[in-house]
Every structure is written in C-alpha cells, then in structure tokens.
Structure 1
Amino acid sequence: MRPYRAMARIAWRNALAYRVPFLMSLSMLVFNLVAMFALWRALLGDGNSLAGFTWPQMKAYLLVSFFTNCLVSTFTDFAMASRIRSGAVAVDLVKPVDYQKGRFAEALGFALLETAAAATVCAVVLVAFGGVPLPPPGRLALFVASLAAVVPLKFLIVYMCGLLCFWTQNYLGISLARVAVSGILSGATVPLAFFPAWLRHVAEVLPFQAVTNTPAMLFLGRSPGLPGALAVAVQLLWIVALWWLARRLWHVAVRRLTVHGG
C-alpha cells in the first residue's frame, strides 16, 4: 500500500502545483451551477412544483449534482490520456505497481482538492441562496456512503474512456462525448424524473445514474429505508463490475502499445 499512498500524495501536490487549470474547470462548473439556480428558481421560486420537485428540493439536487460533477473531473482523464498518446505509459508499465490501482490512487489524491473546492463553493452558494434541510442521521449516513462511492464509479468510467486512447489519436472527442452522455444519463443535466418513461428506464439500468441520481435521491428522501440501502448496494455492485471490466479492457489495450527507440 505504501507505493499507492505515495502516488496519491504526489497527485495531491501536482493538483496544487497546477491549480490554474483546475480553477478554470471549476469556474465553468460554478457558472453552470449559478445559471441552473437562476433557471430553476424562476420556474419554482413562486411555490410551484414540477415532477414533484419544489424549489428547496431542486436547490438541494443541484448542489449534489454540482458536487458529484466536481469529483474526478479535471486531472485524471487527460493526464492518463496524455501519457498513453505520448508513449510515456511505457514507464508506468515497468513500475512495480498495478497500473489500474496506481491511477485510482492518483484519482484519490486529486479528489482531496476537488472535494475541498466543491464543499467551499456549496457553502458560498448556500449562504447566497439560502440553506436546504438536512436529512435525518440515518438517511444522511446513506447519502455520505453513496457520495463516497461516486469517486471509484467516476474513476472507472473515466479510466475506461482514457484507455480508448490506445485506439485513437485524440482524446478530446472521447472526453466531450463522455461528459455529454454521463451528464444526461446520470441526471446531472436534468433530473431523471423529467425524462420520458423509456429514456428513464434506460438510464436506470446503466451505471451513470449511480453517479448523481442515486446520492441526490437519497439526500431528498426519495429512496428511504431499504430502497436507499439497496441503491447504495447497486453502486457497490457497479464498482465491482466496472473494476473487473476495466481490467479486461486494459489487458486488451496494452497489447496495442508500440514504443519506438532504444
């Protein structure tokens, strides 16, 4: 475990050293959050409700969505993709650490800064727009567990997309497609409750909804008791399944690596 802890510490220091790109990415998320707040407050601020959402509930949903969007969003994918495209990944292969576990350790290191920044922004927004009611302790514990599961879930989705660089010459298109698909099917762009029935059913059987919809519904109390515990269990099952799938994809992808020179 010592090498992985060292990799997480190095990732944390790199995040602090290259904080300008992170702050630029964060500013775009903050701008989107403020825009969504303005939109939904205009729709629900007079006591209206849509699909069962009142303004205080939508405010809580938007904050949870923003928080999950901040996690594993800036450093992990482009850093890995850059090393694959440049061939520097060959250096990673000779290190006495598991490649997938090493990238996850780095994602955890980056997540420390992402979590601190997201929590700070949420606190400022709550002061500016008013607070939201906290769930009772039992549901709050499930929400925290669900939120913790978001980091490995997002990492695995990002990691597998990054591995596609073994087959492509450019990662930007893959990244933009991942952000768009994940944003829609996770419920980060619009809550799944607003989807047509057929699209909602499709989203509910895919892993993306476990990134935003699951923790948000737990916070709002729409998955109380046993359904909430089952929702967290589904997140854990997706982590296990995607971890196994990512390892299979890595074994196939690494066979395509060609490094020239002596």
Structure 2
Amino acid sequence: MPEWLMILIRSVLLFGLTLVGARLLGKRQSGQLTFFDVVTGIAIGVIVALLSLNLMRNMLGGIIALVVWAGFPIALHYLSMKSKTVRDFVLGKETILINHGKVLDDKLMEVRLTPEDLLSQLRRKNVFSFADVEFAVMEPTGDISVLLNKEKQPITPKTLELDVGRESVPQTVILDGVMMDEALTAMGFNRGWLHTELEKVGVAPENVFIAQVDSTGQLYLDLFDDAIILPKPKTKELLYATLKKSQADCELFALSTQQPRAKQMYSDSSQILNEVVQDLEPLLKR
C-alpha cells in the first residue's frame, strides 16, 4: 500500500477518534479553557500528528498515549462535577484581587499578575480607576470579573424604581423569503396578519431576508436589497398615542356635556383609560 494512502487512512481514523474525544469533553468556549485544558489539547494534537505521519515507531504505544490524554481529562471533568475538592484541584479557585477598592498585593503575587496587568484587565472592562471597583475577582479561566461601587454602577430601571414589562424572545417569522408558520402560531398570529403588516410598508414576503416579531407584536424587517430603507416600526408609539387621545377625548366630553349621567360615564372612562395607559407605559415607551 502506498505511503500516502496509509497516511490518509490513519489521519481519517485519528480525526474521527479525536472528534469523539472532543465531544466527550463537552462544550467549552475558548475563553473558559483553563491552563490544564490548553496543555491537554496541545498534547493530544502532537500525538495525533505523530501518529498520522507515522513518526512514532510504536503505533500501539501512541494509541495508548492518546487514550490516556483524552480519557483522563474526561474522567477528571466528570469527577469535578461531582466533587468540589476535585473541581478546585483541577480547575482552580477564584482569587479576590481588589476588595472594597483596595488592591491585594499578596493576591497579585499569588496569581503572578503585575499591577500593569491588573490595570490593563480593568481597562478592558471599561474601568480606568481601581478606586471605582468594589470587588475584582480572577476566575479559574484567568478572566477578571469586576463589581463597581454603587455610585459608579450603570443606572437601571430598578435603580429608578420603574416598572418595566417582561420581554420574551423575538420569533423569526420569515427566513430567506419563506414564512415560518410555527413561529407565527407561537406568537398568536397567522399569515394573513403578516401579509397585512408587509403591505403597510409595501414589501413582498419573497423580498424579506429576515423578519422577526417581538413580544409586543412589532414587526422588524431586513430585506435582501440593503439599499431599500424601511420606515421604523411605529406600532407601540401609535398605540400609546391612540390611548392618550382617547383619554383626552373622554375628559373633553365630560367637560362639555351638561347631562350628569353622560358626564359621569365619560369621567369613569377617562379614569379607566388613564389606568390602562399607566400600566402599559413601561412597555410602550421603551
């Protein structure tokens, strides 16, 4: 058998074996890899390359080494999920670098991080003064998590004591010009509603690259032709304006009528609409 064919066969078999091992190791992002994971990956890659090119005389020894380097990490990861002691030993523990705005010098030495490295990591988090940091923790992956002081934290609706509506995942109702009936049904709509919304902006379904509907029923479009500029959705703004106008009309009718029963009816309707507007305002004005 030609040498090149042997290399091809070995490479394909080792590729499949490596793929199986990678799947068994589980899904981990590159930013979540520890130093142990990096070393394991390099070792497996070197063994696979040597075996593929037949640079390792003892083929059986190479297979055993590959099984060990792939099997042991898998076993350790499963053990680490069951035992915190094993998890701390294999993955390491987090280290507090800044506590109440004070940099812990001994902890920096422990993780072999210079002050310049720490400041650089903080700048990557958009923090330019360590005094603004309440806590900074180095994770086992080497990434640094930062908690700012109360006065430096971004303002949120909760900080302002504002009520906001819940947000659900937008559903893709058109993809590559094809309507997605399952997504429409999940949002409580049908093709008739979608055709009506597309007619409002003068767009045919086959010209839509992606269309999504959010939790408020507002439709967002992206066309195949990027040169076409679509108007921004105004569903929420129009609904809010209609409710406010209806409330104002009821107040006007209550002031203009001379009949007590009609005046009371319009006043009650205005009050009800006012409560509806207050309940929906966090959802419609965001």
TM-score by length of 2: 0.21
In the superposition, the TM-score normalised over structure 1's length comes to: 0.22
**Structure with greater helix percent:** 1
